[in-house]
């Protein structure tokens, strides 16, 4: 079954996020004063070819990709979502 994996990557708690701070400040400047903080991150969408590999195998493979390339695990955390296409 073809699958799509979405990887959400963001900074770990305690890591300074200057882009997030800039976003929050800019929103305040535009009159959105209810915003007190913002976190900036990224979403990576991966499409997998038709395969007999089960959901657990695909998730394990995506986790390996995250650990090796997609996230800097020293300062970033990630979350994986899988959907059938």
Give phi and psi for 45, each to the nearest 5: -110, 125
Residue 4 is predicted with a pLDDT of 96
Res 80: pLDDT: 98
Residue 42, phi then psi, degrees to nearest 5: -145, 155
Q: How far apart are CA 7 and CA 26, in angstroms?
A: 27
Look up the CATH number of the domain holding residue 15. 3.30.1280.10
Classify 2 as helix, strand or coil. Answer: coil
Residue 27: what pLDDT?
Answer: 98
Per-residue pLDDT of the chain (85 residues; tens, 9 = 90+): 789 999 999 999 999 999 999 999 999 999 999 999 999 999 999 999 987 888 999 999 999 999 999 999 999 999 999 998 7
Range of the domain at 48: 3-84
Give the number of domains in the chain: 1
pLDDT value, residue 85: 79
């Amino acid at each position: 079954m073809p699958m799509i994996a979405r990887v959400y990557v963001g900074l770990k708690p305690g890591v300074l996020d200057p882009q997030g701070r800039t976003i929050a400040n800019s929103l305040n400047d535009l009159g959105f004063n209810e915003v007190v903080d913002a976190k900036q991150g990224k979403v990576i969408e991966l499409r997998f070819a038709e395969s007999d590999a089960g959901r657990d195998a695909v998730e394990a493979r995506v986790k390996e990709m995250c650990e090796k390339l997609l996230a800097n695990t020293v300062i970033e955390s990630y979350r994986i979502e899988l959907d059938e296409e």
